[in-house]
Amino acid sequence: LIDAAIVRRILTLTGVEHPPGCWCFAGSSGRGESLTKLAPHLLVLLGEGDDEVAARDAYHHVLQALEECDYLPRDLGFDTTFYVASTDEWTTRYRDWVRDPIRQDMSRARTLFDLRPVHGRRALWQDIDAAVMAHVDRDFLHVVANDCLTSVPPLTFFHDAVVDSEGEHVSTFRLEHSALRPLVDVGRVFALATGKVLSRSTLERFATARATFPEHEKIFREAADTFRVVLWQQGRVGISRGTSGADLPPALLSRHDRHVLKAGFRSILRLLEFTADRAWLGKL
């Protein structure tokens, strides 16, 4: 809410109180899960007749102003010019990602499937939401479900080190990569599978999955509990240290924190195993 209010205020201060198109948040910002100083992930959907040059100028002014507000830069999958385009262009992009996710390198765009309107004409966002769901099929779901296996949680903590999935001892807990990402990615898969995707939070996505697969309710409930713990840790460490909270030294975790996280790692593995088994696709 604060990020959205700041973006709207920046637009007003730069003389663009009514900018063209629909301004959206993507990624963790789009899911409502950005709790640290990380800059909001902005993109713009333009309608017919909107001035693209003016929109690009406004977009870059906002990005510069966010830096002056002391936000941390966010790693993006594409150049900044990519994120301002017409709804026709965005529709084509999403269609290509869904139809051919491997050759179109959909993995670079996965955070764009977490899209929430924050300012402007919401109808443009609704057009994109409908276009995405019109093209989702089981082959696409199988690919994105398999992609979730690229990030797995560590095995455990040992003193002030993390034992990763290969048994190596490392000094940094990659919280976002090895704990948050697999939960977020699986949540997105089941949102796509159930037809409720773009603006939903990870917890809302797990709730929908529980309702869709009641016989596996425990898997999704434990995943939601683990997500709350991991996101809280990211917010706690990121806010206190002025970072994104993506990585943290295990020394910052209490004995209780480690115990809870280790139980969470097991929940993530059970969730990934369930997602990798194509049997659930047959129950849709």
**Residues 151-177 pLDDT 10s:** 888 888 887 888 877 778 888 899 999
Say how far apart CA 180 and CA 30 lie, in whole Å.
15
Q: What pLDDT sits at residue 55? A: 93
DSSP letter for 198, please.
Answer: T
Nearest in space to 161 (alpha carbons), one of 269, 266, 248, 256: 248
Query: Which parts of the chain fold into alpha helices (H)?
Result: 2-13, 27-30, 52-68, 87-99, 122-135, 138-147, 175, 181-194, 202-212, 217-241, 255-276
Q: What pLDDT sits at residue 174? A: 92
- Please state the rounded mean pLDDT for residues 86-110: 94
- Please state the rounded mean pLDDT for residues 251-266: 92
Q: What is the mean pLDDT of the chain?
A: 92
Q: What pLDDT sits at residue 7? A: 94
Nearest in space to 109 (alpha carbons), one of 88, 83, 133: 83
Type of residue found at 148: C
Say how far apart CA 24 and CA 42 lie, in whole Å.
6
Q: 133 Cβ partners below 8 Å, 6+ apart? A: 192, 195, 197
**pLDDT per position as a tens digit, 177-217:** 999 999 999 999 999 999 888 889 999 999 999 999 999 99
Q: What pLDDT sits at residue 259? A: 92
- Please state the rounded mean pLDDT for residues 123-149: 93
- Please state the rounded mean pLDDT for residues 19-31: 94
Q: What pLDDT sits at residue 161? A: 83
Does residue 44 contact residue 21 with C-beta atoms inside 8 Å? Answer: yes
Question: What does each C-alpha distance from 163 to 205, 227, 250 come to in angstroms?
Answer: 30, 20, 11
Beta bridge partners, 158, equal: 161
| Confidence band, pLDDT 50/70/90 cuts, at residue 234 | very high
Does residue 152 contact residue 272 with C-beta atoms inside 8 Å? Answer: yes
- The secondary element (H helix, E strand) that includes residue 166 is none
| Confidence band, pLDDT 50/70/90 cuts, at residue 120 | very high
The crossing angle, in degrees rounded to 10, of helices 255-276 and 138-147 is 150
Q: What pLDDT sits at residue 240? A: 94
Query: Which parts of 44-121 fold into alpha helices (H)?
Result: 52-68, 87-99
> Does residue 246 sit in helix, strand or coil?
coil
Q: What pLDDT sits at residue 61? A: 93
Radius of gyration of the chain (CA): 19
Does residue 98 contact residue 42 with C-beta atoms inside 8 Å? Answer: no
Does residue 145 contact residue 275 with C-beta atoms inside 8 Å? Answer: yes
| Confidence band, pLDDT 50/70/90 cuts, at residue 14 | confident
**Pairing of the two strands 116-120 and 156-158:** unpaired
Q: What pLDDT sits at residue 179? A: 95
**Pairing of the two strands 161-163 and 84-86:** unpaired
pLDDT score of 63 more than 90? yes
